[in-house]
Structures are given as structure tokens and as C-alpha cells.
Chains A and B, each alone.
Chain A
């Protein structure tokens, strides 16, 4: 496993940190006292059975879910709650949005804006969140479309594209914000099998060409092996086992990891 702490922007500060995180949905405690960190530039894949809390973890980083207890930090900045004078206090929305600007997320169901063209989808946030001019945002969007192999579709409407194409646009849209953290939640699960490859290829290229930190949830074990620095096996909201992909996939220690891998491989 490469030691990514070496290329960290701020030495000693993890890029993502979960500290004593508790997440409940009503009475259902999904995450109980979860602690882990992701180093700058590190690619961490979460695996585990359905319902074990993997999506919830990503959604907490993106602040799509309310944190019940504990803290989540990105680049050292607290996301939803911070400790001020020994008290757990809410971070104001405007401050939170400044922090989440460096986080990109790609969803299982793409979630492109159907009322905008492919290009408009990509430049919306660069124009209105990053404050780029059109003269800056459009060439950048075109370069990203080139990278995901969608340059010829820039004026199409999302509904005219296949699922794989929509997902590649969604990846370009997330990258247009120059994210330092990228969250990928089962980005190929909604795709027809023959379309999975094109999306994974694009993601592997991005993993190779950039040093974006990634938190990945996937059922594509070969992909996880190819891109991850570390794999964390989850069950019932706890980390059962973690380590380099070669170790987790070839010689898992925990019985639950063995059972899970036998079922999915």
C-alpha cells in the first residue's frame, strides 16, 4: 500500500476524518462510534453487505444526511458540527458549503439535470459557485467531455443518452468543480452490464491521472482491486477488517469478509 501521507498537502491532517460518528435513522442506529481517516490522495473502497451503512458514510461526507453524533472533517474543516468551547455546535450553512465545494459526488442514478444540456449541466456550478466566466468554464467543460469520451454530445439533452453516457457526463460534472475529494456510490449498479466497462475505464484513467482522494462504494471487485490503496470491509456499521486490496481479496482474516467475498466473487 502506497504511503499517501507523504504527499499530503497539510502533513498530519487527514483529508477525511470520521471522529466518533453516530448516525441514527429514528431508532435504527446505522453507525455507532465510527472512526476512520482517509489520507490526501488515498483511494479507499468500502465493501460489505447491503444495508451495512456504506452509502450513509458517503452521504455524511457530502452532508446529504444529518449527523446524529460526532464529527466529520474534510481537510481539517468540520462539516456539519464543530467543537466550540467544549460544545458541539452547528456549522453555518454558508461555511459548510465552502467546505463541500471541494467534495464531488457521483450517484448511482446519475442525477443529471434534465432541463439542461450536457454542457449546461457541467458549467452550472463552475459559473455560479466557483465564479468562472463562460469563456473559462466552457473550454474546461469541453476538455472534461473529451476526457470522458463525450465531446460529440455536448449539446444533447441527458434523456438522449444511454445510462453509461449519462454517468460519464455526471463524472465530468463532478470533476468540473476541481474536487479534492471524490465520492463514488455504486456508480455502475444502475447500468446494463455492457455499459459498466466504459464508466470504469474512465474512472481508472482519472484515478491514474489525478491525485484526488476517493471514497468508493462498489460491487465491482476487480475495479476495487485496480484503483484502491485500501479496502474497508463493513458490516452493521462497523469496520470488520481493512487493508491493502491484495490482502483483503486474497487472504481475508475475518470470517465475515470471507463469507461476503465468496458470495460476491
Chain B
């Protein structure tokens, strides 16, 4: 019942199966969206905290941040998931936490992609022109205030395209969370595959993930347009809706601000 011909022959019945299974599939989409959204949020917080910590004044802070980042970048997502799901509960009191599958997924995705994001944040902080740091110093603003009032708002516009890519990778990376018993979109597709065949099931999976990725692209493009407008590098979002569908990081001509 597989193959291209099977796909077309069985399209009608397969669509019926899909409709019949829609409640479970929607549950799966919900799990994937939750893991991606919450994992992405955690990753963002980790990225900002550890990105800034890597340029901190005190060497001890920088080194600690560096070790953290290298650890979570260097160990695989699967191992982190398994560790949180199966090793952590076996640790002696008070560490033997048994976490819900969604919590495990969010933690592992957040830590892993947050570590990558920290590098992005560090890089974009370094890309803010030297003159900005000098103006902060010349106004005797404290380094902390300068960082949060001047550097981060400018670095934010620079880091969004890369963060957008990371978030899409996180979405795709989330397809393994069913190994720790979070029944996500991928798991539900696997379930209907027995009845519909591989071609139909995975074509559906491709489309579903593709649409979810587009939602991320549009959200991140909106943030990027807004951030660039705020630092005078592009039009307001209300004047450039078309920007939402472009590739992240696209340059806007004529940075007119009105």
C-alpha cells in the first residue's frame, strides 16, 4: 500500500483517517507548539543571561558561563533528554525529581538551544560599534546601565535573524521528545502511519512542520522589523507588512522613519 501510486489511490480514505484522528493529531500539535514555545522562551532567557555573562567584568563569571555554554552545546540533545527523564529520578534525595515529560522537553530544548543562543548574543553584543561603548563611558553611565539601555537594544536587532534560525532548529529538534514520552506531533504522525502508509503520513508531517516554521519566521520577522525601526535602520512595521515574509535578516532599503 506504499509508493507514489498507493499514495494517490488511497488519498480519499487516508484523508478520512486523518480527519478521524484529528483530535489526537491536534493534541500532538499542541504538545509540539508548547515544547517549542516554552523551550524557545527558556532558550532566550538562557541565551541572554549567558551571552552577557561571557562579556562580564569578572573573569570567574566569564569562565563559569563559558563552561556552561560548552557543556550544553557539546552534549547531545538526546542524551540531555534521557538524562533528565531517566537518570534524574534515580538520583538520591533531594535530587531525585520525576519531571513531567513536557518539563523534561522544555528544559532540554531550552538548555541546548540556549547554549547556542548564548554565542549569538555574545557575538551581537561584540558587533555593536565601539563608539557606543565609548559614549557610555564618556557619559559616566555605569557599564551595567549602558549594557541594558544602549548595547542590548542595538544588539537585539542584530541577533534576531540568528535567533530565528535557532528557534526553527529547536522546533525541528523537538521531534525527538516522544522518546521521553511527550506525545508530540511527530509521535501522532507515527501513529497514523500504520493505517495511511509512510508517504501520506510523512507528507502530512512535512507540511505541518513547515507551517509551524512559518509561524516562527513571521513572529521573528515582526520583532526584527520593529527592533531595526527602533534603532533607525528601517521603516515601521505598519509600513512594511511585506517584510514579514522575507528571509530573516533581509536588509531594508531606505531607512526612512516616519
Q: Which residues of A contact B (CB under 8 A)?
A: 62-64, 97, 100-101, 103-105, 107, 109, 111-116, 124-125, 128-129, 157-160, 173-174, 177
Closest partner residue, chain B, to A170 (CB atom)? B135
Contact B230 A107 (CB under 8 A): no
If the complex has contacts A113-B150, A115-B150, are A100 and B140 also in contact, measured as CB distance less than 8 A? yes
List, sorted by A's number, 16 A–B pairs whose CB atoms are closer than 8 Å: A62-B137, A62-B138, A101-B140, A107-B135, A111-B131, A111-B132, A113-B149, A115-B230, A124-B139, A128-B141, A128-B145, A158-B232, A159-B231, A159-B232, A159-B233, A173-B139
Q: Is B134 in the interface zone, CB < 8 Å from A?
A: yes
If the complex has contacts A128-B141, A159-B257, are A107 and B150 also in contact, measured as CB distance less than 8 A? no
Q: Which residues of B contact A173 (CB under 8 A)?
A: 139
- CA of A114 to CA of B257, assembled, Å: 12
Closest partner residue, chain B, to A108 (CB atom)? B131
Contact A97 B139 (CB under 8 A): no
- CA of A109 to CA of B135, assembled, Å: 10
Main DSSP-derived SS at the B contact region: helix
Query: Given known contacts A62-B134, A100-B137, A177-B140, what 4 new A-B pairs fall within 8 Å (CB)?
Result: A62-B137, A101-B140, A113-B135, A177-B139
Contact B138 A104 (CB under 8 A): yes
If the complex has contacts A109-B131, A115-B230, A157-B232, are A64 and B137 also in contact, measured as CB distance less than 8 A? yes
- Chain B contacts with A in 128-157, Cβ cutoff 8 A: 129, 131-132, 134-135, 137-142, 145, 149-150, 153-154
Contact B137 A114 (CB under 8 A): no
Contact B134 A125 (CB under 8 A): no
Closest partner residue, chain B, to A100 (CB atom)? B140
- CA of A100 to CA of B141, assembled, Å: 10
Q: Which of A97, A103, A112, A113 is the most central at the interface, judged by chain B CB atoms within 10 Å of its CB? A: A113
Q: Which of B141, B145, B231, B232 is the most central at the interface, judged by chain A CB atoms within 10 Å of its CB? A: B232
Contact of B135 among A63, A100, A103, A111 (CB under 8 A): A111
Q: Which residues of B contact A115 (CB under 8 A)?
A: 150, 153-154, 230-231
If the complex has contacts A109-B131, A128-B145, A157-B257, are A114 and B231 also in contact, measured as CB distance less than 8 A? yes
Per-residue CB proximity of B167-188 to A under 8 Å, as 1/0? 0000000000000000000000
Contact of B232 among A62, A160, A174 (CB under 8 A): A160
Q: Which residues of A contact B230 (CB under 8 A)?
A: 115
Q: Is B89 in the interface zone, CB < 8 Å from A?
A: no
Q: Is B74 in the interface zone, CB < 8 Å from A?
A: no
